[in-house]
Amino acid sequence: MTHPLRAKLLFAISEKGQRGVTIRQLAERSGESKRRVRYHLDALLDSELIRIAAEEPRGGVVERYFKAEQMPWISSSAFGELDEDQPLQMSVQILKAILADASRAMRGNVFGVRPGHAAIRIPGEVDQQGWEELAGIYDQSLLEIEAVIGRSRRRLERSGETPINALNALLLFEVPPWPSP
């Protein structure tokens, strides 16, 4: 996820439904050539971040549908397992994706419109224990969000209802203090 295009592809793949997404769809969404997309998909396959969900013959070729094996996120517990520069690089890619998604929602006139929409910014000073407590809350929130999405997916499959494309973004980061006057 430290490579910008691979991160972009992984985010796009993780957003697709049960069927998955094709190289052609990814190329159109990313604005990259199919060849370049295929090259980076091979790297994501090798790293086991994605898998081939289905293959269908189409016009003399086999069209592959790709699905994410895991969601592109970094929990607080995973930070310790990464190389020194990887957390920052991955966090930057995640933040770019969040900002791109928010911009797309604004252009589509759906940002802040649906009842229940939330945009929350809570600055505060904490000690080390407080930081660890906040990190734990975020880890727990992630698990709860994944559970809600899973239950929703099953209900949508049964009902045929039109899905709501929701984006959840959880951020916890340190900011430098304001300069002294």
The per-residue pLDDT for 110 is 94
- Does pLDDT of 6 surpass 90? no
* Residue in this structure with the two tokens 């951020």, named with its chain if needed: 171
Which tens digit of pLDDT belongs to each residue from 63-99? Answer: 899 988 766 666 666 666 767 777 777 788 788 888 8
Examine residue 57 and state whether it is found in any structural domain, yes or no. yes
The CA distance from 50 to 38, in Å, is: 13
CA angle 86, 37, 34 (to 5 degrees): 170
46 and 63 within one domain: yes
Average pLDDT over residues 126-139: 93
63 and 104 belong to one structural domain: no
Whether residue 87 is found in the same domain as residue 61: no
Look up the CATH number of the domain holding residue 22.
Answer: 1.10.10.10
If asked whether residues 142 and 82 sit together in one domain, one would say yes
Q: Output the pLDDT for position 128.
A: 95
- Together in a domain, 51 and 121: no
In angstroms, rounded to a whole number, what is the distance separating the alpha carbons of residues 6 and 128? Answer: 34
The last residue of a domain, from among 20, 40, 68? 68
**3-state DSSP helix/strand/coil percent for the chain, to nearest 5?**
50, 10, 40
| Residue 71: per-residue pLDDT | 65
For residue 109, what pLDDT band results from cuts at 50, 70 and 90? very high
If you average pLDDT over residues 130-155, what whole number do you get? 91
120 and 60 share a domain? no
Number of domains in the chain: 2
73 or 14, higher pLDDT: 14
CA angle at residue 133 from 142 to 89, to 5 degrees? 60
Percentage above 70 pLDDT, the chain: 91
The rounded mean pLDDT for the chain is: 85
Angle at 70 between CA 68 and CA 74, to 5 degrees: 130
State the CB neighbour count (10 A cutoff) for residue 27. Answer: 17
Any domain includes 43:
yes
Same domain, 81 and 50: no
- Stretch (H or E) spanning 46: helix 34-46
pLDDT band at 1 (very low <50, low <70, confident <90, very high): low
Write the secondary structure of 118-173 as one string of H (helix), E (strand) and C (coil): CCCCCCCCCCHHHHHHHHHHHHHHHHHHHHHHHHHHHHHHHHCCCCCCCCCCCCCC
Predicted local confidence at residue 133, as pLDDT: 95
What pTM was computed for the model? 0.71
35 and 86 in a single domain? The answer is no
Q: Which pLDDT does position 76 carry in this prediction?
A: 61
Show the domain range for 63.
4-68
Same domain, 149 and 85: yes
With respect to residue 133, please indicate whether it lies within any of the assigned structural domains.
yes
Q: What is the pLDDT of residues 32-52, one digit of tens each?
A: 899 999 999 998 898 888 889
In a domain, 126, yes or no: yes
Q: Is residue 28 part of a domain?
A: yes
